[in-house]
Amino acid sequence: MKSAFSLTYKSLFIVYLIVSLLLTSLLLIGVYYCQTNVEDLELAIYSRELGIAKAWMRLSVTYDGRYFTNLMQGLNPLVYNSVMGYKWMVFAGFVLFNFAIFSVVKACFSGVKLFYVLIGTLSFSAFYFQQCGSLAYALYWMGSSFVYLYPSIFLLINIVLFIAYVRSSKPKLILFIPLAFSLFFGIGCSELYLPFYLFLSLFLPLFIKKNYPDLLVRVIPLCLLMVLGIWFMIASPGLGFRFDESQLENHLNTAILVSSVENYGIELLTLINFPFFLLIFLSASLWKLSNWSFGHVFKSFNLGWILFLFLVLPYLMSLPYFVTKSSQYDYPVRVYIPIVFVQYVLVFFFIIPTVLIKYFEYIKFKSIYNLSCSFFLFFFSIQICIGKGQLGLLFEELLNKKMEIFDTQLTNRYVKLESSKSINSEYVLVNCDTLKDYPRSMFTHPDKELNRNTTKWNKFIEGYFGIDEIKAIEDTTNRFMFFKCYNK
């Protein structure tokens, strides 16, 4: 009976591996087909024309306080005139994300064979992307990934480096420096992480003082840097512009708080789905296979703390958005991308091991476990096949060739625009198709507009490629060209 259970248990991991490999391949196919949108071009012009430092300063001063994101807007292939390099940037983000998960799984579930660590990594990544809310914002739109993917990468790197830093026999500068930078950069990606790091900077020294007083002296500089990072972002003059439109009391009222709670409720309900259950089972399995060495740390957390970390802390993370966007009452998909991630990390690396250690230390993995896991894996696969969730949508748009058509159309457009740079003409006019349809899983507006309705997006394409005008065949007006030529 035991061997039968063990056999099923192992074969389940094989199924996990196959499913996660297929889904990783699907995500990589998405990377192959993704394309830049005009806002990326706009920000690239900015850095190209003014230089990285000046562009960074201007964004910090006039737009927002996301200092690391603003820095990344100047450090990408688009700034160096490589439109095709965009895909490599997205690829790098995806690889970094998986590498960061791999490092944390390896550090937390010590003693687990590399094969299982790999399964844990790929599965975590696939489950998260299935539930992230929008793959376009979370991964395929480079500018957005600096805000929604990179802070997650930094959070994972912070965990690994922190474990190494506090576990070393002596405090080592060589471990502290990367951790300090990683913490500081992680805070500077998105204001949504501010409550998380603020909580950490207050809670960590108290926890360490109570349980590991010898380590307090090591942790204090980290907390100082966290507070500094938070202050640096909040005190950034650019953040003030977000409050410009109305008075502060308009941002802090009951309607906004109610809206934030309602939206958070929707997020929680959406979260409770097959990938999330699979994540729980996967965490329990890896915990079972590992010689878990954080038992003494996690035992000090009671149920109240677990509920606070899972329910209240993620909610607090959404508040910076609701406070600054007082007129927004729709469900903000983007805002919940990092929140889902934090909940995933907490459940996978902390809550499930803690619950198992505290309440089910002697739990026996019975056949019911295998059965439940198989059940959830089956329905998760069905979900994707019928186009549900983000990976399902990606799969559907791959099958109906939306991604391929979109990629071909935009590649042709950019090749045409690139080649038009060398045209020696009084007035360089480039006719390009307008996107009528695009894969929702990997692209979002802005794009070139018909008849230059709002005028600004076309201008950025023209600015980036140094042409006079980009037009669509469907355009019904020539007024822009007329004015321009007339004034020549």
Partner 1 sequence: MKQIYFFTCLLIGFIIYIHFQQNCQFKTYDYLLSIGRDLGNRPLVSDKFDKKICRNWFCFDASAVGNCDSSVNRVTLDKGRMELIGKVFNEFTILTESSELSNDSLKINLVILKRNPIKLKFVLIKSNGSWIIDDIDNMEMVFQYIQFYKSKFS
How many chain residues bind partner 1 (CB under 8 A)? 47
State yes or no: residue 51 binds partner 1 (CB under 8 A).
no
* C-alpha to C-alpha distance for 442 and 139, rounded to whole angstroms: 8
Report, in Å, the least distance between residue 467 CB and partner 1.
7
State yes or no: residue 191 binds partner 1 (CB under 8 A).
no
Separation in Å, CA 7 to CA 13, 241, 483? 10, 60, 76
Q: Please say which residue, 203 or 232, places its beta carbon nearer to partner 1.
A: 232
b/e map 148-173, b = 16+ CB within 10 Å: bbbbbbbbbbbbbbbbebbeeeeeee
Report, in Å, the least distance between residue 67 CB and partner 1.
8
Among 57, 216, 268, 316, interactor with partner 1 by CB under 8 A: 57
Report, in Å, the least distance between residue 207 CB and partner 1.
20
Among 63, 91, 310, 315, interactor with partner 1 by CB under 8 A: 63
Restricted to residues 156-185, the positions that interact with partner 1 (CB under 8 A) are 171, 173, 176-177, 180, 184
What binding mask, one character per residue, do residues 9-48 give for partner 1 by CB under 8 A, x or -? Answer: ------------------------------x--xx-xx--
- The residue among 127, 125, 106, 107 whose CA lies nearest residue 117 is 106
Separation in Å, CA 73 to CA 66, 89, 202, 443? 11, 12, 31, 18
Let me know if 389 is exposed, middle or buried by CB neighbors in 10 A (0-12, 13-18, 19+).
buried
Among 28, 51, 237, 478, interactor with partner 1 by CB under 8 A: 237
Report, in Å, the least distance between residue 480 CB and partner 1.
6
Judged by CB under 8 A, which stretch of 268-276, 294-302, 393-401, 462-470 contacts partner 1? Answer: 462-470
Q: Rg for the chain (alpha carbons), in Å?
A: 24
Restricted to residues 342-381, the positions that interact with partner 1 (CB under 8 A) are none
Report, in Å, the least distance between residue 307 CB and partner 1.
34
CB 179 within 8 A of CB 161: yes
Separation in Å, CA 424 to CA 60, 82, 397, 467? 38, 22, 40, 11
Q: Where are the alpha helices (DSSP H) in 247-301?
A: 248-251, 254-271, 274-289, 295-298
Q: Please say which residue, 178 or 387, places its beta carbon nearer to partner 1.
A: 178
State yes or no: residue 477 binds partner 1 (CB under 8 A).
no
Among 31, 104, 467, 475, interactor with partner 1 by CB under 8 A: 467
State yes or no: residue 257 binds partner 1 (CB under 8 A).
no
State yes or no: residue 435 binds partner 1 (CB under 8 A).
no
Q: Give DSSP secondary structure letters for 104-144.
A: HHHHHSTT--HHHHHHHHHHHHHHHHHHSS-HIIIIISHHH
* C-alpha to C-alpha distance for 313 and 460, rounded to whole angstroms: 39
State yes or no: residue 422 binds partner 1 (CB under 8 A).
no
Report, in Å, the least distance between residue 213 CB and partner 1.
15
Among 15, 50, 323, 405, interactor with partner 1 by CB under 8 A: 50
State yes or no: residue 445 binds partner 1 (CB under 8 A).
no
The H or E element that residue 198 is part of is helix 194-211
State yes or no: residue 115 binds partner 1 (CB under 8 A).
no
- The residue among 46, 100, 11, 26 whose CA lies nearest residue 459 is 46
Within its chain, how far is the Cα of 371 from the centroid?
32
Q: Which residues bind partner 1 (CB under 8 A)?
A: 39, 42-43, 45-46, 49-50, 57-58, 60-63, 171, 173, 176-177, 180, 184, 217-218, 221, 224-225, 228, 232, 235-237, 241, 452, 455-456, 459-460, 462-463, 466-468, 479-480, 483-484, 486-488
